[in-house]
């Protein structure tokens, strides 16, 4: 489990590409290495990956084909940077919202609006059926970052990025047309699905 509060960014040092399996080796800062063990879960751009090997500052993770197909991890190259969050521990402060590390879809950045102290990113979600789970002022996780939805128009939504988030994550380097990982809020999804099911059952019962 994660919180969407990015602990830092890491650089891709090596990508070993095999059929349906990539192994990424990252260079971790020392602050993220404390008590890191084999098998530990670490979020990379919102994707939960498992530590495969530890060699000083170099940490390796396997990324299977289904993750490569449904996230933006397969589009990165050696030298690129990713947002990283260590898994939350009992007693830790949850400053963002509960995040599973399971990417549900990707979106394409359609517009970036930047002014003095305002940075707004518009994202067009690929799977239109998921827009029903995105609400004004609701939680959304983008590339592992817990954010708040500012506006929604048809199949697009936008988020506002504060200067601290721009400086501590990779989102400020994103460009129009780039893919971004999306994890919708699980509790919002459960509420919407449950409400839809109850309404549907009520209508069916009414006309029996």
Residue 94 pLDDT level (bands cut at 50, 70, 90) = confident
pLDDT digits (tens, 9 = 90+) for 12-24: 999 999 988 999 9
Residue ranges of domains in the chain, CATH in brackets:
8-86 (2.40.30.20), 105-193 (2.40.30.20)
Query: Residue by residue, what is the 3-state secondary structure of the chain?
Result: CECCCCCEEEEEEEEEEECCEEEEEEECCHHHCCCCCCCCEEEECCEEEEEEEEECCEEEEEEEHHHHHHCCHHHCCCCCEEEEEECCCCCCCCCCCCECCCCCEEEEEEEEEECCCCEEEEEEECCHHHHHHCCCCCEEEECCEEEEEEEEECCEEEEECCHHHHHHCCHHHCCCCCEEEEEECHHHHHHHHHHHHHHHHHHHHHCC
- pLDDT at residue number 166: 93
Residues 55-77: tens digit of each pLDDT: 999 999 999 999 999 999 999 99
């Amino acid at each position: 489990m994660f919180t969407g509060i990015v602990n830092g960014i890491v650089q891709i040092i090596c990508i070993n590409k095999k059929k349906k399996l990539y192994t990424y080796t990252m260079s971790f800062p020392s602050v993220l290495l404390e008590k890191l063990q084999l098998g530990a879960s670490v979020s990379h751009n919102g994707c939960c990956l498992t530590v495969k090997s530890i060699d000083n500052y170099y940490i390796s993770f396997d990324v299977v084909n289904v993750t490569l197909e449904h996230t933006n991890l397969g589009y990165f190259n050696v030298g690129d940077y990713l947002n990283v969050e260590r898994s939350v521990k009992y007693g830790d402060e949850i400053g963002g919202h509960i995040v599973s590390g399971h990417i549900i879809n990707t979106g394409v950045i359609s517009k970036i609006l930047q002014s003095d102290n305002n940075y707004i990113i518009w994202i067009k979600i690929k799977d239109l059926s998921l827009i029903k789970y995105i609400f004004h002022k609701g939680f959304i996780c983008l590339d592992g970052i817990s954010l708040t939805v500012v506006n929604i128009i048809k199949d697009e939504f936008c988020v506002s990025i504060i200067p601290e988030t721009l400086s501590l994550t990779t989102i400020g380097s994103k460009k129009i047309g780039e893919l971004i990982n999306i994890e919708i809020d699980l509790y919002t999804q459960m509420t919407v699905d449950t409400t839809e099911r109850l309404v549907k059952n009520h209508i069916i019962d009414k006309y029996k």
